[in-house]
A and B are shown apart, each in its own frame.
Chain A
Amino acid sequence: MPQLDTSTWLVTIIAMILTLFILIQLKFHKYSYPLSPAPKTFKSTSFPTPWETKWTKFYSPLLLPQQ
């Protein structure tokens, strides 16, 4: 039975190890399964400036009581 001829075993095993453990895994490693796109709720990263942390009345000339 030619499968029992051990002279070729080394070549076959080395080729198989190379293929199975390196080549094929390099192909399947790149498969990605992203989740379906959905909108993310985002928190604002800007911080309120010091004069905005407290509410103060705006003093603009046109808003002053007319004299």
Chain B
Amino acid sequence: MLQSLAGSSCVRLVEQHRSAWCFALLVLGYLLYLVFGAVVFSSVELPYEDLLRQELGKLKQRFLEEHACLSEQQLEQFLVRVLEASNYGVSVLSNASGNWNWDFTSSLFFASTVLSTTGYGHTVPLSDGGKAFCIIYSVIGIPFTLLFLTAVVQRIIVYVTRRPVLYFHIRWGFSKQVVAIIHAMVLGFITVSCFFLIPAAIFSVLEDDWNFLESFYFCFISLSTIGLGDYVPGEGYNQKFRELYKIGITCYLLMGLIAMLVVLETFCELHELKKFRKLFYVKKDKEEDQVHIMEHDQLSFSSISDQAASMKDDQKANEPFVNSQSPTSNDSSLNN
């Protein structure tokens, strides 16, 4: 879903023909990146997994030896059934019976993970009706979420990014680029500490067996909507105030997603990034001369046109909610 959001806000849909070689480079780079990741993951995780397998084999052997009445086949049958249930989030251990997966607050948490496309998988719809409803709910709900997030981010961006940048640009007289970059850095730093470091510290306290790194890892995996599900808060045995905790986590995830998008949008509005991305997006057929002339125009009148653009931006932003097209389009319309 990040691709839908970034697609509508940061990315300019431009026409084709050029940059075919750029696209080939992109494909190659992407594949290489995946291969690189695979190699590193494999080399880091394989030894640990090896160890775990050996330990598990020994555990099973020892258990069967201690209880000679139990045949291996019977144990396997039992285990298959236990593991199946465990996959669906139903634990057969006695001290876990207090945790229901589908009480109201847990369902709320589940609904929010579905709509944000995080999808931990610690709880999954078991019934056929649940699965069917899940599909229909997401088909409507995910675009709804996109709309919601875009609207909120657009409004927040005005107060958080455009007004401060304009203010400092006019007040202190630095060029807009510099102010924008500094502002983006500061905003990024604040967001990281508020939505990653502090919640990670909180989770490492609230959850029994999470250390700080694991909590930070959880925050990152959740807010980027990857949602592996290896760490899910609120699933510990005898978790106190479980309902409140689940609601709190739901709110945190939503706000964190909004904050990430605000930061992403801020960074996308930086001119440098825009230029870099233009390499990969297909350009309209222009004469070489025209392109150069226009770039020169940009350079010489940049500050004036920027101010005009930002004034226009503010005007627009104060008016009724417009289409979710990004404000960077203003600049592109000026480029024309």
Q: Is the pairing of A and B real?
A: no
